Structure 1
Amino acid sequence: MARIKYSYQPADETKAVKAMGYEMPISFKHAVEICRFIKGRKIAEAKKLLEEVIALKRPIPFKRYKKKVAHKSGLEKWYAGRYPQKACRYILKILKNLEANAEYKGLDVDKLVIVHAQAKMGRKIKKYVPRAFGRATPWFQQLTTVEFVAEEVE
């Protein structure tokens, strides 16, 4: 299998750290909204926010995929939001991996800021749902790849 390339290359590789979750069984739309929500934040703050979403204490604002999304209280300057718990659990694992990579590189975890957070569509796995009278309906499982790059900020 070929190595997957990151879409973002940091200017100084020695002060940056990367982590990727490859082809995870989560919603692409949820992953996009979560990435937008945590980009520009410190790693500890992002982890705390995702844990609050998993505990249903804070909603994620849905700014792009907002059609037929209910209004949620607790959002700042926005109306539509959800609690994508499954996607948050997977993305939280990637953030823990990002933190471990930073410690391995000898970087100060408290100074790291997420400068790149992106969700990409992965493969589609074709499955079938059995129906009445011997028929079947195709059903596609969408896999999602999420990548993060954090850099030290003085």
Structure 2
Amino acid sequence: MARVRYAYEPEDPTKAAKAMGYEMPISFKHAVEICSEIKGMKIDEAIRFLEEVAEMKRAVRFKKYYKKVGHKSGLDKWFAGRYPQKAARYILKVIKNLEANADYKGIEKDRLIITHAQAKKGRVLKRFTPRAFGRATPKFKTLTTVEFVAEVR
């Protein structure tokens, strides 16, 4: 039994591939923006896009969490963007795993389109930093789960 269930099930599982990155130490907001950008792309386009983001050659549009985010050039009809390198590297591994899963199932990679891309909040690692006079400051880290489904269209 899986630890986390997929939020989306494809109509025909024989023509779809799934992959999940479970509780990765990346920013949840960055993962949400990358997932919204990748959804609808082919796998090769998504890999190229994430490699360019990791190399800071292409920015990710921040459409949901755009407050106090600087403007970047090269964004199609949008203003706010960033280069979330760490999240791009982790999500790139999951996309390559998705590609390998499709290859294992015998599905043509050229026809696969990412139909589902979602980021979920995982566990919270609770830590505390000691301060003066016996006090402590909380230092919480939220882990992120990312799931992808690619189908033949």
Q: Same fold (TM over 0.5)?
A: yes
The runs of 5 or more residues in structure 2 that have no matched partner are none
Unaligned 5+ residue runs, structure 1? none
Q: Distance in 2 between matches of 1:28 and 1:144?
A: 6
> Take 1:130 and 1:61, find their aligned partners in 2: how far apart are those partners?
38
C-alpha separation in 1, matches of 2:120 and 2:84: 17
Partner residue, 1:148: 148
Letter in 2 for 1:51: E
SS of residue paired to 1:11: coil
Question: After TM superposition, which residue ranges in structure 1, 4 or more long, deviate above 2 angstroms?
Answer: 130-135
Aligned residue in 2 for 1:92: 92
2:40 corresponds to which residue?
40
Q: Distance in 2 between matches of 1:2 and 1:34?
A: 24
Deviation readout 1:109-147 (Å, 9 max, x if unpaired): 111000000000111110112323443211110001000
TM-score (norm 2): 0.97
What pairs with 1:1-154 in structure 2 (closer than 5 Å)?
A: 2-153=2-153
Amino acid at match of 2:11: A
User: Percent identity of the aligned residues?
Assistant: 70
Alignment-mate amino acid for residue 59 of structure 2: P
Map Cα deviations across residues 70-94 of structure 1 (whole Å, 9 max, x no partner): 0001111000000000000100000
Counterpart CA distance in 2 for 1:31 and 1:2 is: 22
- What is the deviation of 1:2? 5.0
What TM-score do you get using the length of structure 1 for normalisation? 0.96
Write the letter of the residue equivalent to 2:89: R
When residues 58 and 145 of structure 1 are mapped into structure 2, their CA distance, relative to the original with a 3 A threshold, is: same
Q: How far apart are the structure 1 equivalents of 2:71 and 2:39? A: 23
- The offset of 1:4, in angstroms, is 1.8
Q: Deviation string for 1:44-96 (max 9, x for gaps)? A: 00000000001110000000000100000111100000000000010000000
Give distance in 2, aligned partners of 1:142 and 1:89.
Answer: 18
- Over residues 12-44 of structure 1, what are the superposed CA-to-partner deviations in whole Å (9 max), with x where a residue is unaligned? 000000000011111110000000000000000
